[in-house]
C-alpha cells in the first residue's frame, strides 16, 4: 500500500521563550534565553537554583475560569498551544470532518503539581476533601482528552508517555496514523509542567539537574563545562495533514514530515547506551523511512541536554550515522535557551526544526564557550546561521532507553 504524504500546516507553542510559536522562534534565532532563577519553588530547598519557566501565561485567555480550575497546568499549556496551532492552520472542525481529525499529545509525567497538592490535602483533611477531579487532572492522557473536547475532534485519540522522548514519539506516532489512512488530520505534540516540589527533588536526587546558579551559563550543551540540564515547561503542538486533504482546503504548508524512527536501548533506566547506539538506530530508521541518504540532511536539532553523557553519546551517534558528513552538518541544541521541557521538548523542537526549513535559518547553541574534545562537531555556536535547509532531523532521548527521531523536509509539490 502506498504511504500517504503528510505535511505540517499549523504550529502552536507555549515556552520559556514565548507564549506563541512566532515569539518562541524569534527569541530562539536571536539567541535569547528563557532560563532564570527558580521562582515557582523555594530555591533554598534545592541544589538546583535555575529553571526555564513559562512567564505571564494566563489560561483564562483560552479557557473559562471554571474549566481551567479542573485542569493541571500541563493541560492548560496543551490546550493553548493546540488552539493556536489549529487557528494557524486555518482548520475548521465540524460534523463534516470531526471523525477524521485526531489528537495525539503526550506528557512525560502529567499532573505532578495536582498530585502533590491533592496528597497534601489528603494528609491534612482526609479523602473527603480530595478533589473529584484529582484523577482526571493528573493522568498524562488528559491533555489529549481535554484538547479533543475543546476542538470537537473525534478521530484517533491517544497519548504517548516515553519520558523525554514523548513529544517526538507522539508526532511520529500521529504521522503514522495519517500515513496508513486512519485520519486526515492529527493535532499532536507534547505538554509538560514539571517545575514542582517532587519533580525537582527527584531530578536533584539523581543528579540530573545542573547546580550552576548562573542562568547565563547553566544550560550549555556540548560545552566541556556542562554539568546537567535545566528543567523547563510548556507545550509544542503541530497540525499534521494528509497532503491531498491539505491541498483541497488550500492550507499553507510549512514542511513535509517524511520519516520516523523509534528504538529502545535495553540498557539502563537513565543512562544512554554506550556510544549512543540506540539513538543512532533511531536516526537510521528515520532516514530509511523517509527515503533519504545521510548526505541529504542539513540540520539536526539535537536532544543536547547539557548532561555529560547525553551530549557525548549523541555526538558519537551522529558520527556513526553520518560518517564524514557529520562534520558538514549544522547541529544545535535549543535547550541552551529553553531548558529541557521533558515530554514537551520534542514538540517545541519539532516546530523549531520546521521553521529552520521554512525560514532558512539555523538556531544557535548559546553559552558555548569551552570546546569538548569528545564533542567536536559544528554546534552552531552562539549565533544563528543563515543556510538553506532542505531536510532536518529532530532527536529526542528519554529515561527508560527511549530514542525517537523525526525527519522533515522542504515541501515540494
pLDDT tens digits along 350-394: 999 999 999 999 999 999 999 999 999 999 999 999 999 999 999
Instruction: Name the domain count of the chain.
Output: 2
Give which of 351, 301, 334, 336 is closest to 50, Cα–Cα. Answer: 336
Strand order in the sheet with 402-409: 157-158, 101-106, 185-192, 234-242, 6-14, 255-264, 402-409, 391-398, 299-301, 330-332
pLDDT in the model for residue 193: 98
> Does residue 253 sit within a domain?
no
The domain that holds 395 is classified in CATH as: 3.40.47.10
- Do both 76 and 146 map to the same domain? yes
Task: Indicate the burial class of 129 (C-beta count within 10 angstroms; 0-12, 13-18, 19 or more).
Answer: exposed
Enter the C-alpha cell of residue 23: 515569539
Residue with cell 556542562: 226
From the CB of residue 145, how many other CB atoms can be counted at a distance below 10 Å? 17
Mean pLDDT of 312-326: 98
- Do both 75 and 210 map to the same domain? yes
Mean pLDDT of 90-106: 98
Task: Report the distance separating Cα 320 and Cα 158, nearest Å.
Answer: 33
> Does residue 1 sit within a domain?
no
pLDDT per residue as tens digits for the range 36-54 = 999 999 999 999 999 999 9
- Do both 280 and 160 map to the same domain? no
pLDDT in the model for residue 2: 83
The residues that are catalytic are: 164, 303, 340
- Please indicate, yes or no, whether the overall pTM of this predicted structure exceeds 0.95: yes
- Do both 219 and 296 map to the same domain? no
- Do both 137 and 217 map to the same domain? yes
- Do both 281 and 225 map to the same domain? no
* Boundary residue ending a domain (206, 224, 248): 248
> Does residue 140 sit within a domain?
yes
> Does residue 78 sit within a domain?
yes
Mean pLDDT of 239-247: 98
Average pLDDT, the chain: 97
> Does residue 255 sit within a domain?
no
1 pLDDT above the threshold of 90: no
Question: Distances from the Cα of 219 to the Cαs of 112, 165, 305, 313, in angstroms?
Answer: 24, 19, 8, 17
Task: Report the distance separating Cα 190 and Cα 230, nearest Å.
Answer: 18
Task: Report the distance separating Cα 345 and Cα 229, nearest Å.
Answer: 12
- Do both 365 and 233 map to the same domain? no
- Do both 168 and 209 map to the same domain? yes
- Do both 227 and 273 map to the same domain? no
pLDDT per residue as tens digits for the range 273-310 = 999 999 999 999 999 999 999 999 999 999 999 999 99
Name the DSSP class of 94: S
Task: Report the distance separating Cα 306 and Cα 33, nearest Å.
Answer: 14
Residue range(s) defining the domain that contains residue 296? 260-409
Residue with cell 541529504: 296
Amino acid at each position: 500500500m502506498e504511504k500517504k504524504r503528510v505535511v505540517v500546516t499549523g504550529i502552536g507553542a507555549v515556552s520559556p521563550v514565548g507564549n506563541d510559536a512566532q515569539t518562541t522562534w524569534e527569541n530562539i534565532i536571536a539567541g535569547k534565553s528563557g532560563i532564570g532563577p527558580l521562582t515557582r519553588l523555594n530555591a533554598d530547598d534545592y541544589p538546583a537554583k535555575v529553571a526555564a519557566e513559562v512567564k505571564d501565561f494566563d489560561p483564562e485567555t483560552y479557557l473559562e475560569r471554571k474549566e481551567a480550575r479542573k485542569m493541571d497546568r500541563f493541560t492548560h499549556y496543551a490546550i493553548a498551544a493546540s488552539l493556536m496551532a489549529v487557528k494557524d492552520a486555518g482548520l475548521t472542525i465540524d460534523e463534516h470532518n470531526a471523525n477524521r481529525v485526531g489528537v495525539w499529545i503526550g506528557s512525560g509525567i502529567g499532573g505532578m503539581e495536582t498530585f502533590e497538592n491533592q496528597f497534601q490535602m489528603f494528609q491534612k483533611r482526609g479523602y473527603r476533601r480530595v478533589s473529584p477531579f484529582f484523577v482526571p487532572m493528573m493522568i498524562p492522557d488528559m491533555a489529549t482528552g481535554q484538547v479533543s473536547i475543546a476542538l470537537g475532534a473525534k478521530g484517533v485519540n491517544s497519548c504517548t508517555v516515553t519520558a523525554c522522548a514523548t513529544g517526538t514519539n507522539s508526532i511520529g506516532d500521529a504521522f503514522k496514523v495519517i500515513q496508513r489512512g486512519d485520519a486526515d488530520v492529527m493535532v499532536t505534540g507534547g505538554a509538560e509542567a514539571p517545575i514542582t516540589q517532587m519533580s525537582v527533588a527527584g531530578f536533584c536526587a539523581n543528579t540530573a539537574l545542573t547546580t550552576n546558579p548562573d542562568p547565563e551559563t547553566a544550560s550549555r550543551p556540548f560545552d566541556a563545562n556542562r554539568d546537567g540540564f535545566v528543567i523547563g515547561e510548556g507545550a509544542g503542538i503541530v497540525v499534521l495533514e494528509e497532503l491531498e486533504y491539505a491541498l483541497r482546503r488550500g492550507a499553507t504548508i510549512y514542511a513535509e514530515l517524511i520519516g520516523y524512527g523509534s528504538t529502545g536501548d535495553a540498557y539502563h533506566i537513565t543512562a544512554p547506551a554506550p556510544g549512543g547506539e540506540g539513538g543512532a538506530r533511531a536516526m537510521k530508521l528515520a532516514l530509511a523511512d523517509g527515503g533519504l541518504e545521510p548526505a541529504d540532511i542539513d540540520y539536526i536539532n539535537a536532544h543536547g541536554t547539557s548532561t555529560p553523557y547525553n551530549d557525548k553519546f549523541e555526538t558519537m551517534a551522529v558520527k556513526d550515522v553520518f560518517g564524514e558528513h557529520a562534520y558538514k552538518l549544522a547541529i544545535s541544541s535549543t535547550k541552551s535557551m529553553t531548558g529541557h521541557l521533558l515530554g514537551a521538548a520534542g514538540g517545541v523542537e519539532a516546530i523549531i526544526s520546521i521553521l529552520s526549513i521554512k525560514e532558512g535559518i539555523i538556531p544557535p547553541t548559546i553559552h558555548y564557550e569551552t570546546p569538548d574534545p569528545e564533542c567536536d562537531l559544528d554546534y552552531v555556536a552562539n549565533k544563528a546561521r543563515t543556510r538553506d535547509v532542505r531536510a532536518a532531523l529532530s532527536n529526542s532521548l528519554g529515561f527508560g532507553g527511549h530514542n525517537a527521531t523525526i525527519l522533515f523536509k522542504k515541501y515540494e509539490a
